[in-house]
Amino acid sequence: MPRKEIVHSIGTVESEVGISRDVLRKWEARYDFPSPGRNKRGERIYNLDQVSRLRLIKRLIDTGIRPSMVVPESAGDLIALAKQIQVRIDGGEESKVATVLLRCLRDHDLVGLRRQLQHLLLKQGLYKFILDTVAPLTYFVGEAWSQNELEVYEEHIFSEVLQDVLRNAMDTLTNGNKEGGPRILLTTPPDEAHMLGILMASNLFALEGAYCIFLGAQTPLKNIASAALSQRIDIVALSFSLSYPQHRIAPILSKLRALLPEEVAIWAGGDGVSHISKKPAGLTVIPTLEGIREAFLKWGKTRTV
Amino acid sequence: MPRKEIVHSIGTVESEVGISRDVLRKWEARYDFPSPGRNKRGERIYNLDQVSRLRLIKRLIDTGIRPSMVVPESAGDLIALAKQIQVRIDGGEESKVATVLLRCLRDHDLVGLRRQLQHLLLKQGLYKFILDTVAPLTYFVGEAWSQNELEVYEEHIFSEVLQDVLRNAMDTLTNGNKEGGPRILLTTPPDEAHMLGILMASNLFALEGAYCIFLGAQTPLKNIASAALSQRIDIVALSFSLSYPQHRIAPILSKLRALLPEEVAIWAGGDGVSHISKKPAGLTVIPTLEGIREAFLKWGKTRTV
DNA sequence: TTACAATTTTGTCTATGACAAATAAGATTT
DNA sequence: AAATCTTATTTGTCATAGACAAAATTGTAA
């Protein structure tokens, strides 16, 4: 008895994969993919294969590859390409822990997930925890999602639990850093929704003794400026993910630079900034989490001089 | 020198107000509102007036009023109608505190906002804090948003800070409730994104001595069931906001009832359930936050017998 | 190499109509 | 009077096909 295949309308795909209806239709016309079936009303119906392929395509495009290079490609070629990129990002073989945690997530054992994370945090210490566990885990979860191995809500839940753990840790840390260290304001720019990165960074900063003020995601520049002023901020830290349009990064940073007094430093991080060439003056770029500690030490020296 | 008026494209309105392009165009054709200007390319451009009127309309529709009753209405009539409903929800005159906190939010004094909330929590105690401060404040923020007095991101930030405060409180509470009290699983059903309500409820439950597991928003029913089983849950609590389609509430609850063993109770709350008539068997409806304490006491008695 | 111009790619928007799901209104029965 | 069934209206989503500017790439000159 063939199970009735789960199909998706164009609207569902739009909200689940994050590609707008118009774009889905255009791709179909331009690249012959996706080529959904039709129901009796003539409406597009996408099957699971197409949806997961679209997810993969979305991820590849988010890393900077142009649609024309991936949308018409065969499923096999896509996977090959993904592997190639994956290797670049992957590197380590720390994946055992990630696998265990991922299984927790798949089994919906949230309490277990939370406990294990907390346990790892205690065992590894915050620094190692973030770099060796949280960062790869985040990557794996994204990967699993694009392969249809996780549902949207499962990704949400993961982010939820992780945020909880990280914020708790930061609260504890920040309360001890009332005086002495630099005051850092952290957020993401408008239209940048990914906040796990900057949250991880917050923790690393707090670990180094900074007083961190975390503004959540998507703070308009004006408000960053006013907050920096009223909170006597020393450093404003922004995070750009890979999916953030590259050409918008430099202008945003320049604009922010103009809004802030020059004694306030601007630090930009995240996978999105690793490829930018033009660096506006008065700006520190920290493409990887590992670079945070170093940048921090350097800042301390500058200040003492 | 007349300042250049800020205008919005149909896409911007879609994402800022939460009404899809198609619907915006249909309303324009059917009700002559909105009637945006056009740029030289012939694209719709919405001014601030139209956007805020659309926000108000969205809110009114979310409370259950039909589009045909509000979309064609004049701005004046809309405001009158809004006032009418406002009165119904408002009631108290506790608004002074809310006003102060709202000002903090408008001034982007996040640290101040957080501190004030924490201060109020300490002063009033969790119960009073939630009922007299958080609940009305949430309402006011929604109200201010629809009047264009707050921006989207400001609403996000508010929700952010509030979640932080409430979760912290709950963590502290729940850790003390390891044994003895009932085990409650809290979440919202699929497509119900509003989670402040259930978060408030979580705190009130924890206050009464329950062990609360908060799953975040939009948990599929199957996963609620499996989580309930693995966590040996006594009560599953769901929250439905006003904007949740009424006709979907009863079926969802029945379906969940079928998935859960009968010794697991189902409690439904939120503004969305206050008007439902059909109550599926084996179900407790708690339309207001005040009802939680009562329901809890009743549950305790039943159990002892 | 860098800077500018030409070209291609890409996403957003327009217009109008079809249609089913959701809701209300009316009729009928318990 | 309340509950149930029918019919009518309202409402949102999807379809088609083409226009066009912003973004990215390529080619060319300094």
CATH number at residue B189: 3.40.50.280
Residue A66 lies in a domain: yes
Do A140 and A232 belong to one domain? Answer: no
The whole-number pLDDT of residue A91 equals: 47
Residue A242 lies in a domain: yes
Q: Which of A264, A260, A265, A261 is nearest to A285 (CA)?
A: A265
Contacts 24+ apart (CB under 8 A), B257-262: B257/B281, B257/B282, B257/B283, B259/B221, B259/B222, B259/B224, B259/B225, B260/B224, B260/B225, B260/B228, B260/B236, B261/B229
Region of B220 please: left (phi>0), alpha (psi -120 to 50) or beta. beta
Residue B2 lies in a domain: no
Show the domain range for B266.
177-304
Residue nearest to nucleotide D20 (CA to C1'): B41
Name the nucleotide nearest B248; use CA and C1'.
Answer: C22
Residue A289 corresponds to which amino acid? L
Do B73 and B97 belong to one domain? Answer: no
Do A291 and A202 belong to one domain? Answer: yes
Residue B1 lies in a domain: no
User: For residue B118, what are its two tokens?
Assistant: 């924490």
Other C-beta atoms lying within 10 Å of the C-beta of residue B278: 9
The whole-number pLDDT of residue B183 equals: 92
Do B248 and B298 belong to one domain? Answer: yes
The enclosing domain of A57 has a CATH number of: 1.10.1660.10
Number of domains observed in the structure of chain B: 3
Do B55 and B118 belong to one domain? Answer: no
Of the residues A151, A164, A166, the best mutation for testing chain B's interface (the one with the most B CB atoms within 10 Å of its CB) is: A164
Other C-beta atoms lying within 10 Å of the C-beta of residue A254: 16
Q: Is the CB of B39 under 7 A from strand D?
A: no
The whole-number pLDDT of residue A147 equals: 77
Express each pLDDT in A144-182 by its tens digit. 887 778 877 778 778 878 888 888 888 777 766 666 789
- Domain termination residue (choose one: B151, B171, B191): B171
Do A189 and A268 belong to one domain? Answer: yes
User: Which of the two residues, B128 and A3, has the higher pLDDT score?
Assistant: B128
Express each pLDDT in A234-293 by its tens digit. 999 999 887 787 777 877 888 888 889 989 999 998 887 776 655 666 788 888 888 898
Do B188 and B249 belong to one domain? Answer: yes
Average of pLDDT values for A210-233? 84
pLDDT in tens, chain B (305 residues): 545 567 899 999 999 999 999 999 999 999 999 999 999 899 999 999 999 999 999 988 887 889 999 999 888 888 888 777 665 444 444 567 777 888 888 777 777 888 889 888 888 889 989 988 888 888 888 888 877 788 777 787 788 788 888 888 887 777 666 667 899 999 988 878 788 889 999 999 988 888 888 887 878 888 888 888 888 899 999 998 877 877 778 778 888 888 899 899 999 988 777 666 556 667 888 888 888 988 888 887 766 54
Average of pLDDT values for A124-144? 86
Do B143 and B74 belong to one domain? Answer: no
- Domain termination residue (choose one: B87, B110, B141): B87
Distance from CA of A226 to the nearest CA of B (A): 8
Contacts of B110 in chain A (CB under 8 A): 213, 215, 227
pLDDT higher than threshold 80 for residue A111: no
Length of chain B, in residues: 305
Residue A39 corresponds to which amino acid? N
Contact present, A46 and A14 (Cβ < 8 Å): no
- Domain termination residue (choose one: A126, A144, A171): A171
Residue A215 lies in a domain: yes
Residue B135 lies in a domain: yes
Residue B104 lies in a domain: yes
Do A291 and A191 belong to one domain? Answer: yes
Name the nucleotide nearest B9; use CA and C1'.
Answer: C13
Other C-beta atoms lying within 10 Å of the C-beta of residue B234: 18
Mean pLDDT, chain A, rounded, equals 83
Q: CA B179 from chain center: how many Å? A: 31
Do A167 and A148 belong to one domain? Answer: yes
The whole-number pLDDT of residue A1 equals: 54
Distance from CA of A54 to the nearest CA of B (A): 22
Highest mean pLDDT among A110-114, A225-229, B233-237, B282-286: B233-237
Average of pLDDT values for A92-118? 76
Residue A2 lies in a domain: no
The enclosing domain of B125 has a CATH number of: 1.10.1240.10
User: For residue B38, what are its two tokens?
Assistant: 């056009």
Contact present, B9 and B34 (Cβ < 8 Å): no
Do B62 and B109 belong to one domain? Answer: no
Q: How far is A186 from A198, CA to CA, in rounded Å?
A: 7
Q: Which of A82, A118, A83 is nearest to A101 (CA)?
A: A118
Question: At which residue do the structure tokens 């009932």 appear?
Answer: B182
Do A191 and A297 belong to one domain? Answer: yes
pTM over 0.85: no
The whole-number pLDDT of residue A305 equals: 46
